[in-house]
Amino acid sequence: MENTLFTVNNLWMMLCIALVFIMHLGFSLLEIGLTRAKNTVNILFKNVIIIIIGLLTYALLGFNLMYPGAEFAGGIFGFSGFGLELPANGLTASYYNGQYTYWTEFLFQAMFAATAATIVSGAVAERVQIGSFMIFSTLYVGLVYPIVGMWKWGGGFLEKLGFYDFAGSTIVHSVGGWAAVVAVWLLGARIGKFRKGKISVIPGHNMPLATAGVFLLWFGWFGFNGGSVLSADPGATSLVLVTTCLAAAAGGFGAFLVSFIKYKENDLSMLLNGVLGGLVGITAGADKMGVIDAIVIGFIAGVLIVLAVAAIDRLKLDDPVGAISVHLVCGIWGTLAVGIFGDLAGWEQLLHQFYGVLAVAAFCVLTSGIILFTLKKTIGLRVSEKEELEGLDIHEHGISAYSDFRMNEH
């Protein structure tokens, strides 16, 4: 019986790895759909290279930064050596109280690692140099993300404090979100986004692809949150899948309703980002919420999406895909919601959540700022005006995504 449970748990975790992996295709389609045709290859290249960088850096460095073992400095930093080592009892070595193997744990966590840089990719789309972005992604995914992950999931100081983040509203999504804010600020807006004090809409070129991307992300989130149960326990897994799905639906409805009231339009992009906002919002406490809790959290996340997109535009921050609104704003909301709704609700827990948000914000803003500012002052962050106007596909990659592409039409 014990071996059967071990096999079932491990199989479920491996399925969740595949689901989280497919989320990167979802991010890719969403980003190219919400941006212009002339930058499609560039965005696809970034999303593929992020997975490559994420897997390699996490294997060589990140996993042992995130899970350093019992000895680390005050719960802030630890490192147990370079590379991965075969556990003493072989390939079938159990991990996490005997639920699954060491290798399954590594690969599941590695899928999460690349997500932080993917979030930044969308925010800086259409004007960042590919070389600078690759350097940033290597350092951020290889060093910053696993250190923050250790603070909670590796037994660090946030775990000891009582901070709770089930699957990463803060540990994954806001880690990417804070870096996105810094990157967007240092890069500046795309040419034509803000003209004479007015906000211009730069429409994406393919809403069907963006919609397909969101459906893939919603689908993959069943693995993102469902796998974070860290077993195939039927009760816990079922609850997480239900709260995740309901929050997504409520997020989409909230964004649709508020955007219609505010703009008198049925805005598909707001609807799509509302779904994602609901997913990010529930991620911190998906295992601690009831049905009504999940719906309320998701609905508020959807409302926040509409308000945040407008506020970010007013601040003259150009985020082509709404990544900051989705991953940072809703990540903060979902993290704080753990102290307001569900099994852990209470003032003490809310303070723990708030402290965790601030700690991650300070570290991520500082580290991403140092990396990006250094890149800006050395090799540069932004492409030239000519490259931006003519498209990054031609100048950075030498090809176009579409055979009938005409630059003056896009």
Q: Evaluate whether the domain defined by 2-409 bears CATH number 1.10.3430.10.
A: yes
Q: Which residues contact 206 (CB under 8 A, 6 or more apart)?
A: 32, 33, 37
Predicted pLDDT at 68 = 87
Predicted pLDDT at 114 = 84
What pairs with residue 316 in β-bridges? none
H helices of 205-346, in order, are 207-226, 234-263, 268-283, 291-314, 323, 330-337
The tokens 């499609």 sit on which residue?
40
The 8-class DSSP code of residue 39 comes to G
Predicted pLDDT at 407 = 52
How does 181-214 read in b/e, with b if 16+ C-beta sit within 10 Å?
bbbbebbebbeebbeeeeeeeeebbbeebbbbbb
What pairs with residue 359 in β-bridges? none
What is the Rg, in whole angstroms, of the alpha carbon atoms belonging to the chain? 21
Task: Output the CA–CA distances (angstroms, integers) from residue 376 to 1, 43, 136, in the order listed.
Answer: 58, 20, 11
Predicted pLDDT at 85 = 75
Rounded Cα–Cα distance for residues 286 and 254 (Å): 19
The dihedrals phi and psi of 73, each to the nearest 5 degrees, come to -70, 95
How, if at all, do strands 94-95 and 198-199 pair?
Answer: unpaired
The domain segmentation of the chain, as residue ranges, is: 2-409
Rounded Cα–Cα distance for residues 278 and 256 (Å): 12
Task: Output the CA–CA distances (angstroms, integers) from residue 323 to 80, 140, 328, 333, in the order listed.
Answer: 33, 17, 8, 15
CB 78 within 8 A of CB 72: yes
CB 116 within 8 A of CB 328: no
- Provide block-wise average pLDDT over 10 residues at a time, the chain (410 residues): 82 96 96 96 96 95 88 80 71 63 90 89 95 96 95 93 96 96 96 87 94 98 95 95 98 97 94 98 97 98 97 94 97 98 96 98 98 96 94 91 62
CB 389 within 8 A of CB 184: no
Rounded Cα–Cα distance for residues 202 and 318 (Å): 10
What does the angle CA 124 – CA 330 – CA 48 come to, to the nearest 5 degrees?
A: 40
pTM (2 d.p.): 0.94
Predicted pLDDT at 6 = 85
- Helices 330-337, 291-314: crossing angle, 10 deg rounding: 150
CB 195 within 8 A of CB 186: no
Helix (H) or strand (E) holding 55: helix 40-57
